[in-house]
Structure 1
Amino acid sequence: MSRRPNAARRFGESGSIPFVGAFHSKSHPSPLLTIGLFVVGALLIVGYLYHGSGGRSGDIGALNRLDGGVSCTQEVQRLIPYLKKAYGDSMRKVLHVGPETCSIVSQLLKEEDTEAWGVEPYELDDADSNCKSLVHKGVVRVADIKFPLPYRPKSFSLVIVSDALDYLSPKYLNKTVPELVRVSSDGLVILSGYPGQQRAKVAELSKFGRPAKLRSSSWWIRFFIQTSLEENEPVIKKFEQATSKKSLSSACQVFHIKPLH
């Protein structure tokens, strides 16, 4: 992502700051006017600096604050400690599927007794050196999840998917979700956006192929039933207990699916 010119540098080079001249006027403005001009000037400078701050690959939170959208991949990063409490030993071999998967894999690899792999469903345009290294080692793969995953059944103890299924039509969901369950021995965790949330920018539609389709929890439950998938009630209770202790409310819907028998 290109970095915009630094606003502070522009002000320094020009030799003046907006509104400064107003306080050297011979007319002696009222205190209220002086305070108002200072406030407006400060807001303009801060706003310019904030808008001009560049993002980097993996800085999902900053991108979403600027876009006004929600990243379920960022939610995965926040929920890892609670997923560990809910799944226990099932977090020992984890596959994450979704954009910015390098950030999730890197975080999981820092956890004790945890192995992690990732599948990036879209092209890595601005991958940093760490992400390129993970791809080079084969830890992270770039693969279209509309097609069968290049893994054997039950290759991973747990599969987590975020910011990927919302861009698939029901036609491909019918194939992709069971495929994600197939490669898991202990279950699948799905993070999906709530209806009404802003997700992809218009500029990103060419990358995702279609705008995000944010579905309600009732839609997902019907989908699970139609595809013969079951929610994992014991894990759901453990996860809810872990998050409720911290009064944590996720910005994304979280579904826990049982593995195939």
Structure 2
Amino acid sequence: MSRRPVNPSRRLADGGSISFVSSIKAKSQNSPLLSIGLVIVGAILLIGFIYSSSGGSSGDIKDVSKLEGGVSCTSEVLHALPILKKAYGDSMRKVLHVGPDSCLLVPSLLEEDTEVWGIEPYELDDVSAKCKGLIRRGIVRVADIKFPLPYRAKSFSHVIVSDALDYLSPRYLNKTLPELVRVSTEGVVIFSGYPGQQRARGGEVSKFGRPAKLRSASWWIRFFVQTGLEENETAGKKFAQASAKKAYKPACQVFHLKSYP
């Protein structure tokens, strides 16, 4: 997939700028306070623009779940990370996240004892400086997950996928899920929306060109069996126990799959 970073300068209107500036200048001669006010407002807008272009703060990922009151399973990964650590222990050494907003999620998941990599499954139109840096260093890749992943077998201890599989038809799921399992050694964790669940606006229609198909737990379990994938019941039980102890109730469905032997 190609990336088309948006040039912020295109958003600036150039029509009628001379007459506007002239009128402001004329008024400013009569009112020094107006000139001072315009300078302050301009400085604030400039600082805000520079800050947003640099990638913003670590709290940006939290905003994903607030859009239109919808639910983002990608932001849910952050909430579930301590529970996943309890379920999988020290085996979570090298993690691949597959899903939108990997550029925001990967830096938030980084820890001293854990490597985190990411795949953005959709074409990126507006890329922050921070995201460009991650892509340039190969930490985050833009790749169509309907095709083989650009990694060797067993490249990661765990693969976490969110807000991506819900948009795939069974035809492509038959190829994508085995690929996620192929590149893992300790398992795959799937975050999927509940049937009838309201999604964040950004996820209602993905760049796959279709709305999310939110499936029931029974549908997923049947699909795992049909595809020859085995659920990791041990990890699932540990995740449920840790969730109960922390009073954590996932906003998305969470499935645990075993890696290939």
Report TM bin, short chain: 0.7 to 0.9
Cα RMSD (Å) = 2.5
TM-score (norm 2): 0.75
Would the alpha carbon gap of residues 66 and 91 (structure 1) be closer, same or farther in structure 2, given more than 3 Å must change?
A: same
Q: Which residue of 2 aligns with 1:106?
A: 107
1:7-86 correspondence runs (5 A): 59-86=60-87
Would the alpha carbon gap of residues 73 and 203 (structure 1) be closer, same or farther in structure 2, given more than 3 Å must change?
A: closer
Give the conservation status (yes or no) of the 8 Å contact 1:200–1:212. Answer: no
Give the conservation status (yes or no) of the 8 Å contact 1:191–1:255. Answer: yes
Q: Which residue of 2 aligns with 1:169?
A: 169
Inter-partner Cα distance in structure 2 for 1:167 and 1:135: 24
Per-residue deviation, 1:61: 3.6
Q: Which residue of 2 aligns with 1:39?
A: none
Per-residue deviation, 1:204: 6.0
- Aligned residue type for 1:178: P
Alignment of 1:95 with 2:109, yes or no, is no
Per-residue deviation, 1:108: 2.0
Give the conservation status (yes or no) of the 8 Å contact 2:161–2:191. Answer: yes
Structure 1, unaligned stretches of length 5 or more?
3-12, 14-53
TM-score (norm 1): 0.75
Give the conservation status (yes or no) of the 8 Å contact 1:174–1:227. Answer: yes
Would the alpha carbon gap of residues 244 and 180 (structure 1) be closer, same or farther in structure 2, given more than 3 Å must change?
A: same
Would the alpha carbon gap of residues 157 and 66 (structure 1) be closer, same or farther in structure 2, given more than 3 Å must change?
A: closer
Inter-partner Cα distance in structure 2 for 1:257 and 1:66: 30
Give the conservation status (yes or no) of the 8 Å contact 1:61–1:71. Answer: no
Inter-partner Cα distance in structure 1 for 2:98 and 2:202: 23
1:168-207 correspondence runs (5 A): 168-199=168-199, 201=201, 205=205, 207=207
- Aligned residue type for 1:71: S
Aligned sequence identity (%): 69
Inter-partner Cα distance in structure 1 for 2:166 and 2:160: 14
Inter-partner Cα distance in structure 2 for 1:194 and 1:205: 16
Would the alpha carbon gap of residues 63 and 158 (structure 1) be closer, same or farther in structure 2, given more than 3 Å must change?
A: closer
Inter-partner Cα distance in structure 2 for 1:203 and 1:215: 15
Inter-partner Cα distance in structure 2 for 1:202 and 1:84: 28
RCO (CA 8 Å, sep 6+): is it higher in 1 or 2?
Answer: 2
Structure 2, unaligned stretches of length 5 or more?
1-5, 9-33, 35-51
